[in-house]
């Protein structure tokens, strides 16, 4: 086995967190879809797929390292949001939480001198900077626009997409 039982257990927990995040992002996408904010909905659906892909990366790693895969139960996502700002803040809060989770996984890998896991986790650490910055900017733009000007956020997303 190329992964310790302790690290495999922690990776399994992270798989649950990633699948949970995927469902939460679907819920956030639905919030925007119901308000006819198509681009915001698409953004969060894409984020849901990305979180699912992250979960599957962890699954593959556990299996490749001959760890025992035990995907935990995933709690139901928050179903409704009072505002666009609340939905965006939930996404930002989640990305900050994931950053702490991945850092904790790296701490375990470092303590165990598991260089394979450290290399694997470095990608997630780098990814988290991108995710936190993206959600922080989005939450800020949504708050600046206010609930009555969310179409301006949609226009901002078009601009960002063209610039990228």
pLDDT tens sequence across 80-121 = 999 999 999 999 999 999 999 999 999 999 999 999 999 999
Question: pTM to 2 decimals?
Answer: 0.94
Half-sphere CA count of 81, side-chain side, radius 13 A: 23
With tokens 């303590």, the residue in question is 111
User: Which pLDDT value is given to residue 3?
Assistant: 97
CATH number for the domain that contains residue 82: 1.20.1260.10
Q: What percent of the chain has pLDDT over 90?
A: 96
User: Which pLDDT value is given to residue 163?
Assistant: 79
With tokens 């701490």, the residue in question is 107
**Sign of dihedral through CA atoms 112, 67, 99, 127?**
positive
Average pLDDT over residues 70-75: 96
Total domains in the chain come to 1
Domain coverage including residue 60: 5-163
User: Which pLDDT value is given to residue 67?
Assistant: 97
Average pLDDT over residues 144-151: 95
Helix 150-163 vs helix 115-145: angle between axes, to the nearest 10 degrees?
130
Between CA 63 and CA 81 the distance in angstroms is: 37
């Amino acid at each position: 086995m190329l992964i310790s039982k302790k690290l495999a257990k922690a990776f399994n927990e992270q798989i649950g967190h990633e699948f949970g995040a995927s469902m939460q992002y679907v819920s956030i996408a639905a919030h925007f879809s119901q308000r006819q904010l198509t681009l915001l909905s698409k953004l969060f659906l894409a984020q849901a797929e990305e979180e699912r892909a992250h979960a599957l990366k962890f699954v593959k790693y556990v299996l490749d390292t001959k760890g025992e895969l035990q995907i935990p139960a995933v709690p139901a996502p928050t179903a409704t949001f009072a505002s666009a700002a609340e939905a965006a803040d939930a996404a930002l809060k989640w990305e900050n939480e994931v950053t702490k989770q991945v850092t904790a996984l790296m701490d375990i890998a470092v303590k165990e001198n598991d260089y394979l896991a450290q290399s694997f986790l470095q990608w997630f650490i780098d990814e988290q900077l991108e995710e936190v910055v993206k959600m922080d900017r989005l939450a800020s733009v949504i708050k600046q626009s206010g609930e009555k000007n969310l179409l301006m956020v949609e226009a901002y997303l078009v601009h960002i997409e063209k610039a990228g």
